[in-house]
Amino acid sequence: MAKNLAGKVALVTGGSRGIGAAIAKRLAQEGAAVGITYASAKQKADEVVKAIQGDGGRAIAIAADNGDAAAVRKAVDETARVLGKIDVLVASAGIAKIAPVWEFSLEDFDKTVAVNVRGMFVAIQQALKYMGEGGRIITIGSINADRMPFAGGAVYAMSKAAVAGLVRGLARDLGPKGITVNNVQPGPVDTDLNPAEGPFAQKMKDFMALPRYGRDSEIAGMVAYLAGSEAAFVTGASLSIDGGFGA
């Protein structure tokens, strides 16, 4: 079968585990050479690289905390240097601090914005130095940008709403260059950090039209579509894949 991303190079920030790792593997299956960044989980990142290489793909892992602008820029440059270019950027790195507003420290507020918004902007800005016509920028937001049905998530929701707004504006900037920019908004997804049978899982399922958690492979499938040629006319969109959480 033809591989939709054959000859392409993708960078996935936060690609060492969870949704980011699933995206990296799926893009590699579609034929892309893949770079991933990780903040601290080197072993997990190496496992993703080995899995891709074991299937005959090309992959590298680069340490870069998304809250460190210099490290993010260096990771983008290193990906382009080793793999030759960047055609697809998936900005997946993010953090979630949940606490009521009266307990939320300014330090945690600043860190959330630094990682979830500023770091994403830096990665996009740097990747554009290597990206030409037909390039794809895909951010991983959250359905919480549109719906926050529980207490304590105000700052997280704010950061993901900022991502959605950034994407709409960037689509206008980059459309004339033939580069699309889109935002994927997952609902609850079964990962190590948010297990489908965890202490909050049933409460989340009660909010959904489909009473189950999503699979990371389902999010990766949406990203693979946006990265490919069939999505050439999709830009500035926030696409929810949430089992009806936001319905």
Active site residues: 156
Residue type at position 169: G
Opening angle at CA 88, ends 83 and 89, nearest 5: 100
Taking the C-alpha atoms of residue 127 and residue 13, their distance in angstroms, rounded to an integer, is 12
Give yes or no for a contact between 247 and 209, defined as CB atoms under 8 angstroms apart.
yes
Residue type at position 114: A
Give yes or no for a contact between 104 and 155, defined as CB atoms under 8 angstroms apart.
yes
Opening angle at CA 12, ends 45 and 84, nearest 5: 100
**Sheet of strand 180-186, all strands in order from the earlier edge strand to the far edge:** 59-63, 33-38, 9-13, 88-91, 136-140, 180-186, 238-241
Query: Which residue from 190, 191, 182 is spatially nearest to 225, judged by alpha carbons?
Result: 182
Give yes or no for a contact between 168 and 236, defined as CB atoms under 8 angstroms apart.
yes
Strand partners, 61: 36
